[in-house]
Structure 1
């Protein structure tokens, strides 16, 4: 299919032929001039195969690409941190969110190679990294990034040349070791095959010894260079006085190589070079596959780093605009964000805007934010530019907080992983004792085979699969949860979430939007509507209560003081010296509770307010999906019986509990736990912190109170409740995969160790079996990176 035909076909579906966004008119092929220009350039450059090869649409191209806005990429401070000199060229690594498939990497590679002065390009669709080297005498970095932006791949800076160089050196060294081990293993196996086929011992001794000496030369770099990570790891384990997998790997490899050298020198009957090199090669392959699983899991940190734009448009005092590095922004600055650009800092909107928060929440659909609402760094402007006042920059942004949470989650060592390591350590100790017993037994029975059998036993029983069974699955699961916008904060989170039988929701701010609106006001004699709202607003806004949004902000001269929050009842304080209370009727006005919010002095009423908080759009779908996962869904709320029952009926939640104080919620959870239930709690407010801490596993809403988040095991970013059943499905799949991996590792060793001890397995075959076991475990864990299916929830 040609590029033109692809454009026409895509346009016929009402989608932009380049980026896939909705078309403004049915007769158009592109959503904007930027995408049209990008598509035209691709066709003119002869790269329209991109449209045939790609798996996903490109990013939207801003129609307002001013070449001057890229000039800051050439500033010395940017080059000092992110650009390195190699030979006569400069080199840097860029990150881009838009690279969604191999075709995108192909397009970037071909397009940048066409730019004059570009020496080399390496684009990786998996990591979203683009490494570019250019001749500074012929071109500038700004020209390169401008071409990427013009194609819809908005570039951002990576984490600095030092980190990138270290990452690249490590990867290249690992690939070199694997390559040397692979070549050595092939050559050693070819020479060993010639020796194995000499069934009648008819090969001349000179030829046999020649083959052995050549194999020695081939295997030595494999053992001591490619296998150095295992040798160094064994030395570190001995220094720490603990036995581990590296001790067994290095010991077996050095034993096979050393015994083979001795047999080569003295002309003995057997050598085992092939087992040593096969062991190293196959183990390196398994280890690199496991590292790939960890890199996939940690890709979310790179995604968060990618969302930090290098520059921002800041308004000067005279109304003009300047392009400044993001780190130069300070709270109070007024900045602009163009269409498709990423918000560089946290701030308050100065006008209504449509914002995409997919990086922060996992939801790709744009949301409307009103003037005065917070917008976070990492969001992007959709359809129209936005203006905002900066409130937080750098490490103080929510984006940085998310990055820290993700890194914390990935650095955790859950109890299951620690237990697995402890079992592996004890297994190694027991295996070494077994190996000594087997060696002595074979010395008595058939001395000529004692070393060979012991070596096969050590190799085939290496607990690689056991050591990888849990960490590989947990690392992959963490990455999948991060992509869903669910962050784990404790080491027990996944295990307990998978075991949950009941899930209890708070109402306000959890099942509802948390944006209550005032629908009715009743006043006492002598109280004006304006005064009632002002007094109520002063108490609510000063306390930071979620209901504050239902009341207008008070004038600066109206000050609330001596505030006391009474959990489950309301707020007491003084406004302009007058003692007031707001909350439930018995607390605020000594009246019978009718579900409304009352303002009074504790004895007499001043006003009565009715508020309404709409349910979240996906609350019903989330509840239905949780029911399909066999969880019992419950609701416990501090609100009155009427609103709670109405919401419960709408969401098909049986037996909701209303007027629940924090202590009552905790008692409810404790009662369920006493009955053998495993309870998950979902909440967002300060009042939810005790029950979040008391539940078996707890989930805090990402926009909720910080105290609630600190008490939780998981934090749900964004407003989508369907992420909860998706997270539970991931947790359950993770539990299944871990059990499968542990069962396989156990069954493998139960079968393999007796066979090896009986002398029925050769050392090279033992190496093959051990590596196959490890690869199976890691491959099984990688299945978690594929999205699962939750009834009622779109993938």
Structure 2
């Protein structure tokens, strides 16, 4: 190891000297005390390597893995060459010292890094070159590459398990005849031969199969954070070392078969846990696979297949039936149904036509469509969901941190109890004192305790994401179960946030369909939001249309004048007095033909289809419902009466909303705020849990604790249920894990549990916890009404599943 006090000493190469000088000048000499393995050898980058990294500065290259964030840009990187925690320590501090770096964090488990930097102060390639010059590698993170890494890790785990399994069988074949005296009067020479063969069999098991336990234990000891790997590695290491000593220098007992059995059952339990966590969606790689790598770009009358990252805003692409959208965009030609399950959790396809916005990850169902590109790469909605999933999985809620602390304390106590048990049995003259000590170390390993919380939270998060509710913070699931008051915004939350035609009142001789066709013929010449109500209706041809701003539209139909607009405008145009309705609600439009009033059209926002049932269900569970809206009070009162809301306040400014939430919180209420606009951000920040609608602005979704991807309010009930069920499962797991350890410890200390049974018991305990937690990811009967016919509407069209 180089001496920091003598920087002029000899080095093996200029690369080593450069890295050492960097560490020394930046005051990072502690790296040499922290590291547990030699770092990779640094090297000077060739011009070709530098050029390859410089290419990543191009905006086209960054679209797939870089996203804009507050204050700069965020990149997801895959780091190579990490051998221990000290490597991460060095990387994070070295990058933090560079100008323009806002934050840089590395996940030791996945070796993924999150880099946030200011493009005005530095470029991405300079930071990547700094990583490479330290001797590590950094490349853009892609889901498929992560999937390949996971498969490679899985193959390695299987090989380790096979080596341990073969070693267990072979060592038992050598030990069983001695245990049961199947070979009588065995000479000392043969006993020694058996021991040498057992040593040869156990050595690859310890060196290769048990290597993860030792490396993790060394890392934990150096970081002063004790985990379950510490007692496991201690037990395996002591048993192997004692057995090797007896083999070389003589003695009474060897434990090679116990060493192999420990390693096999522990590796088997950990392999099953890893597979369960992988299937539970612990990684976002599967979701990332929804975004294809290629697309068909339209060039005039021709088309070409291009890489998705080459697409630009404004490009036009063709999506055939069965293909998946690679970008976010808007349909400019064609009509089809799209399966958006990856985004919203809605399993039924939804009808889309010209003008509708569509998102990457959606699967085209019926007909070819043409889409104009709006967002690509890391800016798509699917990429945003992936980033949120990465964040929520990296955050540990309070109960998970508590479980880790308990496990750490338990491990430290076991490490004290184990030698005391050995001393007690040794003083008592027991021949099996070492066996009993090994059993204590293994049987009390808090694997189940450490897995009790994260596995349950992962399973619940997966289930909710499939349904369409995306938790975006680590504490969301933990806090939801405490909610006793839900505060709703009105427009876009309890209502759909867009105008609909609620009814037509005929006052003339024209039929309703004719009225609607004339209204559509006039409104197709307008850009007003009211015109969107009539977009899906077959329009009559109306000539000479004039737009009278703020009043209405006029035109000619079959030689007759046609007028649509507000009451005062119609009265002026037709010189006819109109009697207003008794109860004014929404927007009243009137249509007149040839000077005669023909119909009244009522237009307004409407409540969401599941709003009434959601409010009733919440109230049946003693959860108070409140509506806070900046809209006029009479409209708020009407919506509140229709829904049966407990309390409704209209004309509320953002400051008024926040003050009302603070008053509720001061009264001891646990509040959830549900909204969709920027004006809801202050009140959402003042709630225990904030939920944004799927149609909310990007900033609102970014600040929320959860997102209703499909805009279904009924998922609030399911999220609260999932939170309470998750708590119940965690309590069961914690009680089982603690109960098992508290029961197993005295039994093992009393010499009633042999080492091989201790390994089996510990593995089964972990498996029970994992399987119990996986129940959370199962859908209960009736959670999806797949057998009930449903109608999905968009505009004036209806699509009935056939």
TM-score relative to the length of structure 2? 0.65
Q: Give unpaired runs (5+ residues) of structure 1.
A: 1-76, 82-157, 521-529, 542-546, 559-592, 599-608
Instruction: Name 2:308's counterpart in structure 1.
Output: 326
Whether contact under 8 Å (2:160, 2:208) holds in the other structure is yes
Looking at structure 2, the residues matched to 549 and 740 of structure 1 have their Cα atoms a distance apart, in angstroms, of 53
Whether the aligned pair in 2 keeps the contact of 1:347 and 1:391 (CA below 8 Å) is: yes
Structure 1 residues 351 and 199: alpha-carbon distance in aligned structure 2, compared to 1, 3 A threshold: closer
CA separation in 1, counterparts of 2:741 and 2:215? 26
User: What is the match of residue 583 of structure 1?
Assistant: none
Once the two structures are TM-superposed, the CA of residue 343 in structure 1 deviates from its matched residue by: 2.0
Is 1:486 paired with 2:469? yes
Say which of 334, 359, 364 aligns to 1:376.
359
**Where does residue 509 of structure 1 map in the other structure?**
492
Residue 644 (str. 1) matches residue 626 (str. 2): no
Question: How far does residue 492 in structure 1 lie from its aligned partner after superposition?
Answer: 0.8
Shift of the 519–499 alpha-carbon distance from structure 1 to 2, 3 Å rule, reads: closer
Of 452, 466, 469, the match for 2:449: 466
Alpha-carbon distance, 1:272 to partner = 2.3
Task: For 1:245-264, list aligned pairs within 5 A.
Answer: 245-264=228-247
Q: CA deviation at 1:610?
A: 8.5
Which residue of the partner structure matches residue 570 of structure 1? none
> In structure 2, do the counterparts of structure 1 residues 635 and 189 end up closer, same or farther at CA, with 3 Å as the change threshold?
farther
Q: How far 1:255 moved relative to its partner?
A: 0.8
Contact 2:164 / 2:264 at 8 angstroms: preserved in 1?
yes
Distance 1:688 1:470 in 2: 32
Output aligned runs, 1:397-436, within 5 Å: 397-436=380-419
- 1:338 is displaced (CA, Å) by 1.8
SS of 1:230's equivalent in the other structure is helix
In the alignment, is residue 726 of structure 1 matched against residue 718 of structure 2? yes
Q: Is residue 2:772 matched to residue 1:780?
A: yes
| d(CA) in 1 for partners of 2:499, 2:783 | 31
Q: 2:211 maps to which residue?
A: 228
User: Which residue in the other structure is 1:147 paired with?
Assistant: none
Classify 1:741/1:692 alpha carbon distance in 2 versus 1 (closer, same or farther; 3 Å): same
CA deviation profile, 1:214-256 (whole Å, cap 9, x unmatched)? 3322222212211111111112223323322222111111111
Distance between the aligned counterparts of 2:764 and 2:682, measured in 1? 48
Q: 1:727 to 1:186 in 2, by over 3 A?
A: farther
Distance 2:326 2:674 in 1: 31
CA gap of 1:260–1:380, structure 2 versus 1, over 3 A, is same
Task: Pick the aligned partner of 2:326 from 344, 352, 365.
Answer: 344
1:137-156 Cα shifts (integer Å, max 9, x gaps): xxxxxxxxxxxxxxxxxxxx
The reply to whether residue 448 of structure 1 matches residue 431 of structure 2 is: yes
Q: Say which SS state the counterpart of residue 737 (structure 1) adopts.
A: helix
Match of 1:312 among 272, 277, 295: 295
Tell me, yes or no, if the aligned pair for 2:280 and 2:774 is still in contact at 8 Å: no
CA distance in 1 between partners of 2:168 and 2:150 (Å): 27
Q: How do 1:158-169 residues align onto structure 2 when only pairs under 5 Å count?
A: 159=142, 163-169=146-152
Q: Give the Cα–Cα distance (whole angstroms) in 1 for the partners of residues 441 and 242 of structure 2.
A: 14
Mapped to 1, the partners of 2:621 and 2:197 lie a distance apart of 61
TM-aligned CA deviation for residue 650 of structure 1: 3.6
Aligned CA distance change for structure 1 residues 651 and 597 (closer, same or farther; 3 Å) = closer
Deviation at 1:790?
Answer: 6.8
Distance 2:737 2:649 in 1: 47
Q: Rate the CA distance shift 1:635–1:744 in 2: closer, same or farther, 3 A.
A: same
Deviation track 1:702-736 (CA, whole Å, cap 9, x = no partner) reads 21022321221111212222332222232222212
Matches within 5 A, 1:103-114: none
Matches within 5 A, 1:357-376: 357-376=340-359
Deviations 1:323-371 (A, max 9, x none): 3222221111122222232222111222473333221101022223353
Matches within 5 A, 1:633-782: 633-782=625-774
How far residue 612 of structure 1 moved from its aligned partner, in angstroms, is 1.4
Q: How far apart are the structure 1 equivalents of 2:152 and 2:325?
A: 33
Contact 1:595 1:640 in 2 (8 A): no
Q: Find out whether 1:280 has 2:272 as its counterpart.
A: no
Give the structure 1 partner of residue 795 of structure 2: none
- Rounded to whole Å, the distance in 2 between the matches of 1:687 and 1:794 is 37
Contact 2:172 2:257 in 1 (8 A): yes
1:17-44 deviations in Å (ceiling 9; x for gaps): xxxxxxxxxxxxxxxxxxxxxxxxxxxx
Q: Which residue of 2 aligns with 1:622?
A: 614
**CA-to-partner distance for each residue in 1:365-416, whole Å, 9 max, x for gaps?**
2223353332212223332222222111112221221222222222222232
1:304/1:403 contact within 8 Å kept: yes
In 2, Cα distance between the equivalents of 1:679 and 1:654? 14
Structure 1 residue 171 and structure 2 residue 154: aligned? yes
Greater Cα shift, 371-380 or 283-292: 371-380
For residues 608-644 of structure 1, the C-alpha deviation after alignment (integer angstroms, 9 at most, x for no partner) is: x986111222323433444565544443333334433
Q: Does structure 2 conserve the Cα–Cα contact (< 8 Å) formed by 1:300 and 1:482?
A: no
SS at match of 1:514: strand
Residues 558-599 of structure 1: per-residue CA shift (max 9 Å, x gap)? 9xxxxxxxxxxxxxxxxxxxxxxxxxxxxxxxxxx998799x
1:296–1:476 contact (8 Å) kept in structure 2: no
TM-score (norm 1): 0.66
The question of whether the paired residues in 2 share the 8 Å contact of 1:356 and 1:366 is answered with yes
Work out the CA distance in 1 between the residues paired with 2:249 and 2:715: 67
Shift of 1:284: 1.1
Conservation of the 8 A alpha-carbon contact between 2:143 and 2:284: no
Q: Conserved in 2, the CA contact under 8 Å of 1:722 and 1:793?
A: no
Give distance in 2, aligned partners of 1:341 and 1:162: 22
Q: Tell me how far apart the structure 2 counterparts of residues 792 and 304 of structure 1 sit (CA, whole Å).
A: 21
Matched-pair contact (CA < 8 Å) for 1:298–1:410: no
- Give 3-state SS (helix, strand or coil) of 1:676's partner: coil
CA offsets, 1:95-148, max 9 Å, x none?
xxxxxxxxxxxxxxxxxxxxxxxxxxxxxxxxxxxxxxxxxxxxxxxxxxxxxx
Count of residues paired in the alignment? 576
Distance 2:723 2:307 in 1: 41
SS of the residue aligned with 2:318? strand
Q: What secondary structure, in the 3-state scheme, does the structure 1 residue paired with 2:163 have?
A: helix
